Structure 1
Amino acid sequence: MSAWLVFVTASFALTTGVVGESLFQRLTSGPIAVNEEADEGADILAQAAPTGPSVTVHLKDVELDDAAFTDTLQSASARLLAGADVAEVQTPVPLPEPMPVQTQAHAARTADQPQQQPTTVADPAPGTAPPEFAPQEPPRNPLINQERDAAAVRVLLRAQRDPDRLTAATADVRAQLRSMAQALVHEGVVGEFAIYDESTLIDDVVAQLESDLKTGELVALPLSLVVMVLVFAGVIAAGLPLAGAVASIGAALLMMLGLSHLVDTDATVINVVTVLGLGLSIDYGLLMVSRYREEVRDLRHPAETEVSDEQVTKAVTTTIRTAGRTVLFSGLTIAISLAGLVLFDPPILTAIGLAGLSVVVVAVTAATTLVPSLLVLAGRPVIHQGLPSRVPVVRRLTKRLGDLAPQTGAFTRLAGWTTRHRGMVIVGSLTVLGALALPASDLRLCSATEEMLPASHPTRQAATALYQDFPALRPPSIVALLRGADKDTVAAAHQWQQDSHRIAGVEPSLSPVTSAQGYTWFGVRTSNSADSPQATHAVRQLRESAPPTTQTWATGQPAALVDFVDALTARMWLVLGVVAAATLVLLFLLTGSVLIPVKAVLTNILSLGATLGVLVWAFQWGNLSGLLDFTTPTGLDAVIPTLILAFGFGLAMDYEVFLISRITEYHEQGKPTSEAVADGLQRSGRIITSAALIMVAVFLGFAAGDMLIIKQIGVGLAVAVAIDATLVRVLLVPATMALLNDANWWAPRPLRWVHKRLGLRH
């Protein structure tokens, strides 16, 4: 017990930054990445391009003809260009004379431009120097909006290999741009301003995820406590699973801190894994405490008012042997599902899989060691109903929802009804699951950047307003890259660019062909958003039309999405086969049956299909956009279906183990199948329902956050649990077991021999 206290205290101290670097300081964020063409091309561009990221100030309500506006921009630009880390300044006015050495060549290019022509104007490929803008007839300045009431100043930093120096340079440029904008506001020639840069976006995404994590915990923990008070009719008994959950979260965060030193850890991993760990820990603690109270009730004579130490010890021992085995099996089934994520190539899935495995280990360990210790330490108050039971409403709810179910009751009657109407129940359940799954046929995947943030977030608003006023500043969706910078390669690049204009959805580009460091590249703009199906189609067409004379890459946000989807598709059947096979083996060792494991896998697949259908209906079709306050995306985030399949399958098997272990226990005692199903459902039905309520509360608590990807994960897992704990576990499973009757326990003779020697029993 003391070891757990020291360990958990140290975990929170290390992960929150009380000692050393905090976990959140080590997180990364950005477009999904796979070690394929798009990722490789992005790395090459980062090395070859002479400039790094940019910082842009958006000036609104501008008096363009005021001399103070021109003077202030010119003086500020001169100061910025004097910095060693600034490569270029783009302004809507010409730069002053004399100029720093690094801008003299640029001055020669712009000397003959008319007043208010930009110094240079970008069609900025990620990590590249923006080219000089080609004037159109009539000339229009891309750094002045169409209404001529807004202007932009953009500063391009030099490419840096030292991240600390780049961070310092970015902060310095932001400070200078802010000072300039404030001076313009003070002079009355600018109404308001906003500053935007890529590094701020990443920092804001991490900060928003951290905020959503706190929001989720603040919502989930109190709701879980309320449910457990109703289940146990006492605060002390209800608090034990929460104590185990808090300990598990601390230990899990420490493991993720260690993991962040081994692999790049995306910020979303923390929220995804925390929500899983919180739900599992509470569920496992609930199961252990409930089984302990049941064992004490069976050991105690009706005339006894107190519980002896011997009875407590015996009850704890039996609880560990029975419920502890169930927790172990449940953890193994979930671990198998999460292990499937490690088999995929995308690093974010590997990180989630490894972090999820560590959380499962912690949750199982806490439930089988810490919670029993707390049971012994808490003593008799865990057994007796507390003050909440004296409240009439709570007392009535506890009688219906409490963990100590009578020998016969609502679930016994429900099992009898499903047995008598098993055909109707099976057909009805499958029809409902099929109807819920129908929208999944329209499933589309997307990968957002600033759209990850809520619409009300200042950084997203700044980016949206900037690109609306100055569309030329938006980076092109795709960057085409060729190896080589010789004349033939440049000619091939020009031809490739011309060919790209014939691809549906590709706009005629003003982006020039640029060469540096032995590579040549150009930007490709799409008429739709970068995460649209049209953009991913353009990537595939662009790659097919690449010149065969040299090595080429198509990179950018839609290219990364294409590589991500291809990586998933390449390994999907291998992962599904491994996970299904391991689950079948594990459930066979638990039950000794061949049919029960097969049936469990099939029903879980149906349940997950229904969950994906609900997610498409809610998010991709936008039906819950008003209720959950989000802007309808072009599809589900690319990682969502895989996470829902992995986590949802594991959680579904969690409840399968809860129910089937009880049914198997009664069957091994010699009861016929129909009676074993009825008794197993009666004894476990309340716990499954209570555990599901807690899981749904936890997941919806995280859905209350602002990040769209967290909303999708929270709602998806809540729906998966709700469908599985009601339609599947309480109706479909008993009905199919009643239909199969004694055939449920069939296995070939060789497998019966294997189970007799290797099967796991109480």
Structure 2
Amino acid sequence: MLDRIADLTWHHPRKILAAALLFVAVAGFFGHDVEHHLKAAGFTDPSSESERAGDVLSEALGYSAQPGLVVLLRDRDGGPLEVTDPTIKAEVDRLAAELRGAAYVGNVTSVPAEDGRSVALLAQLSTNDLEDKGGLADESVRERVRSDVLEVGYGGYAPSFNEVNDQTRKDLTNAELIAFPLLAILLLLVFRGAVAAAVPLIIGALSIVGTLLALRIMATFTGTSVFALNIGTALSLGLAVDYALLIVSRHREETAVAGFTLDAHRRMVRTAGRTALFSGLTVAGAMAALCVMPQRFLYSVGAAGAVVGVLSAVMALLVAPALLVVLGPRINALSIRRGPGVSDTSNRWLRVAQGVMKRPVLVAVGTTVLMLALAAPLLGTHLTGPSAQAVPPGQQSYGVNKYLESHYGREVVEGVSLTVDGTTDPDVLEDLRSRIMAVPGVDRVAPFTAAGGDVAFATASFEAPALSDESQNALKAVRALDDPDGGRLLVAGNTASFVDEKTSLVENAPRAIGLIVLLTVVLLFLLTGSVLLPLKTLLMNTMTLAASLGILVIVFEKKFLVGLLDYPGPYSVEVTSLVFLFAVAFALATDYAVLVMARVKELRDGGMGDTDAVAHGVARTGRIISAAAIMIAVVFAAFAVSPVFFMKQIAVGMALGVVIDATIVRALLVPSLMRLLGEANWWAPGPLRRLHDRFGMRH
């Protein structure tokens, strides 16, 4: 197959490039406005109790119990709000009427503050999807509810998430403006020539445009999270540059030996092309495993990542070789400096690998202890979830939410929705209310009200913040109460959503992790023919992930260097990010493992001994992987400028995973463990070896 691809790109390069341009035109036409077709984050599990509670109450009552949006009215000069003044009263009534007419607003309640300095208009929404439809409600409210008499502010869950989504779209543009110039400079330094440096950027741009088209198609058939756009773009740029760097480097290596010939071209595609293909499939498999998760955020990012892995590999395998054929010797034009090429053997990496293999036990044990020490903080982490805390300072709703928290009860911005499905008997409901009030951590519970049919509801509040351990314990205690006679109690709200989110992740993550492990083992076996190398890769990937997450806890929970990152909190790790980072970090760690193992296997198959093959394999890929790691880390770090806390955590976590794997793991663990295993590195039982002989990936 690879030989056919090599011949195709050698004999018909201009046709392939013309097809690529046509693809860009079509993808750009249909995918340029993809952000307008994507939905909000989607952190909830549709089958969870909190979501079912919202559905039951919305169907019976027409709107949710707890307010999803709050309009804060204050005096323009900061003084007391004279609600008895006819002008003020008329304006408040007018604004409440405008609020009732906004999209997805089902009910409006007016609540004055105890200090008399403000009035909060609480909007209960007719939709249970506060993250997406709540954003449409917020936009409608901001357009309708305006005043020349009073200062109007918008807060609560829906406006908060709407501003986070808008910020996410801005972050994508900002990250691209940072990443592209930095990548151009780095590639120029790596390749020492402007023409060669442009090739990876071209492949990256093609991959990004293709990702936009894929997301646009996906959004047509299912709800797709807006965060898939940011993550997909970062992965597209990072992987495409990674694979194109590999292709161009091997091209220079082969043409230095055989000139610009078909033989050199074939060897490039057979070796670097095969590595890029396997790496792309491995990344795609790891990301696709997230599609089994019920959360829109996770399955959207998983699908986007799977497309990116395949698309980046295909672009590197077809477009990059065709471009190199058309350029010919001009690939080395516009050189800026002399020196060793990125594809040359690095004597420094060779000495490191040989030194490590002289003391493999000491290095392996010492490195393992270091990685476990870095991972240790993960054991005591305090997790958090999406809430109004996600709004970064500077956004309009941030100040409004802070004001509401300090001047109103928790039921305004962190209300707990209590829904009883099956009975509206007053005595039964009052008994249930008394039992809930007796639960430690519960602050207040309003009387139950009939919603229609056999459904009743009430709003409650906890004493502590919604995502605190105290509120989570209180929620669990309320849910543990016996159901009322003839009915069942369903609890919703921010605390309930967070607890349900964690439960859903615990229940569904093992399937995703199992798929990632299975696909990784199978693909690496097809590449190497070994049973132990894939298992060793799993172990090292797990250590890379654990160390990265441990550092993440140190930074974002223990407040280490948060000032440098301009991070104001919350000082916890976002729970959904752990599952996401597992898939991405695992995929990228496997990416570098494939690059090293493919080169080691090539040298070993060429007659080199095990120890020398490992040392020279590490040395031969040293500059390439170092350059690729720096560049992909730059791409991820560019997204860390986002003020949205979980986007910042994801970006830093991905950059950490890449750096740790490309340094500690590749320089120390890989050579030491491969030296200890020796010939056993390539062992496989007879049946599996025959399977690899038949189906394994060869030239």
Q: What TM-score does the superposition give when structure 1 sets the normalisation length?
A: 0.83
Contact 2:553 2:573 in 1 (8 A): yes
> What is aligned with 1:189?
none
Change (3 A) 1:63 1:481: same
RMSD: 2.9
Which of 316, 333, 340 pairs up with 2:265?
A: 316
Contact 1:58 1:466 in 2 (8 A): no
Contact 1:688 1:725 in 2 (8 A): yes
Which of 34, 47, 52 pairs up with 1:40?
A: 52
> What is aligned with 2:146?
178
> What is aligned with 1:366?
315
Query: Where does 1:401-550 land on structure 2 (aligned, <5 Å)?
Result: 402-406=341-345, 409-471=347-409, 474-487=412-425, 490-509=426-445, 511-518=446-453, 519-547=455-483, 549=485, 550=487
**2:165 is aligned with what amino acid?**
V
SS at match of 1:751: helix
Query: Where does 1:69-108 land on structure 2 (aligned, <5 Å)?
Result: 70-80=85-95, 85-86=100-101
Contact 1:208 1:453 in 2 (8 A): no
Could you list the per-position Cα deviations for residues 351-392 of structure 1 after superposition, in whole angstroms to 9, with x for gaps in the alignment? 2211211121211111111111211222212135x3421xxx
**1:633 is aligned with what amino acid?**
P
Query: Where does 1:167-246 land on structure 2 (aligned, <5 Å)?
Result: 174=142, 177-179=145-147, 182-184=148-150, 193-196=152-155, 199-246=158-205
SS at match of 1:154: strand
Could you list the per-position Cα deviations for residues 676-735 of structure 1 after superposition, in whole angstroms to 9, with x for gaps in the alignment? 111111111111111100111111111112111111111000000111111111211111
Change (3 A) 1:458 1:591: same
SS at match of 2:450: strand
> What is aligned with 1:144?
113
Mapped to 2, the partners of 1:337 and 1:264 lie a distance apart of: 21
SS at match of 1:554: strand
Mapped to 2, the partners of 1:388 and 1:344 lie a distance apart of: 49
- Alignment of 1:247 onto 2:206: yes
Mapped to 2, the partners of 1:66 and 1:80 lie a distance apart of: 16
Mapped to 2, the partners of 1:410 and 1:84 lie a distance apart of: 68
Contact 1:55 1:195 in 2 (8 A): yes
Mapped to 2, the partners of 1:639 and 1:167 lie a distance apart of: 21
Q: Percent identity?
A: 31
SS at match of 2:466: coil
Mapped to 2, the partners of 1:691 and 1:551 lie a distance apart of: 56
Change (3 A) 1:160 1:617: closer
> What is aligned with 1:94?
none
Contact 2:107 2:124 in 1 (8 A): no
Change (3 A) 1:31 1:594: closer
Bigger radius of gyration: 1
Change (3 A) 1:324 1:73: same
Work out the number of aligned pairs and report it. 675
Change (3 A) 1:541 1:678: same
Mapped to 1, the partners of 2:157 and 2:586 lie a distance apart of: 37
Which of 220, 229, 248 pairs up with 1:270?
A: 229
Change (3 A) 1:556 1:162: closer
Mapped to 1, the partners of 2:270 and 2:662 lie a distance apart of: 25
SS at match of 1:627: coil
Mapped to 1, the partners of 2:635 and 2:641 lie a distance apart of: 10
Mapped to 1, the partners of 2:456 and 2:247 lie a distance apart of: 63
Query: Where does 1:349-360 land on structure 2 (aligned, <5 Å)?
Result: 349-360=298-309
Change (3 A) 1:372 1:63: same
SS at match of 1:354: helix
Change (3 A) 1:63 1:353: closer
Could you list the per-position Cα deviations for residues 246-289 of structure 1 after superposition, in whole angstroms to 9, with x for gaps in the alignment? 11111101111111122212222221222112111110111111
Mapped to 2, the partners of 1:759 and 1:161 lie a distance apart of: 50
Change (3 A) 1:557 1:253: same
Contact 2:138 2:162 in 1 (8 A): no
Mapped to 2, the partners of 1:130 and 1:673 lie a distance apart of: 74
SS at match of 1:516: strand
> What is aligned with 1:343?
292
**How many angstroms does 1:238 deviate by?**
0.8
Change (3 A) 1:145 1:318: farther
- Alignment of 1:601 onto 2:538: yes
Change (3 A) 1:31 1:573: closer
Could you list the per-position Cα deviations for residues 564-623 of structure 1 after superposition, in whole angstroms to 9, with x for gaps in the alignment? 222222233333333222222221221122211111111111111111111111112222
SS at match of 2:146: helix
Change (3 A) 1:548 1:637: same
Mapped to 2, the partners of 1:443 and 1:740 lie a distance apart of: 35
Contact 1:76 1:176 in 2 (8 A): no
Deviates more, 1:427-436 or 1:199-208: 199-208
Mapped to 2, the partners of 1:170 and 1:668 lie a distance apart of: 63
Mapped to 2, the partners of 1:167 and 1:688 lie a distance apart of: 42
SS at match of 1:628: coil
**How many angstroms does 1:345 deviate by?**
2.8
**How many angstroms does 1:312 deviate by?**
4.2
> What is aligned with 1:591?
528
Mapped to 1, the partners of 2:389 and 2:122 lie a distance apart of: 23
Could you list the per-position Cα deviations for residues 9-31 of structure 1 after superposition, in whole angstroms to 9, with x for gaps in the alignment? 332333333xxxx4334322465
Mapped to 2, the partners of 1:289 and 1:491 lie a distance apart of: 77
SS at match of 1:456: coil
Mapped to 1, the partners of 2:152 and 2:651 lie a distance apart of: 36
> What is aligned with 1:8?
24
- Alignment of 1:625 onto 2:599: no
Contact 2:633 2:658 in 1 (8 A): yes
> What is aligned with 2:6?
none
**How many angstroms does 1:468 deviate by?**
1.9
**How many angstroms does 1:160 deviate by?**
7.8
Change (3 A) 1:704 1:63: closer
SS at match of 2:474: helix
Mapped to 1, the partners of 2:656 and 2:41 lie a distance apart of: 27
Q: What TM-score does the superposition give when structure 2 sets the normalisation length?
A: 0.90
> What is aligned with 1:325?
274
> What is aligned with 1:111?
none
Contact 1:600 1:656 in 2 (8 A): yes
Consecutive unaligned residues in structure 2, runs of 5 or more:
1-16
Query: Where does 1:589-738 land on structure 2 (aligned, <5 Å)?
Result: 589-738=526-675
Change (3 A) 1:705 1:491: same
Mapped to 2, the partners of 1:220 and 1:716 lie a distance apart of: 17
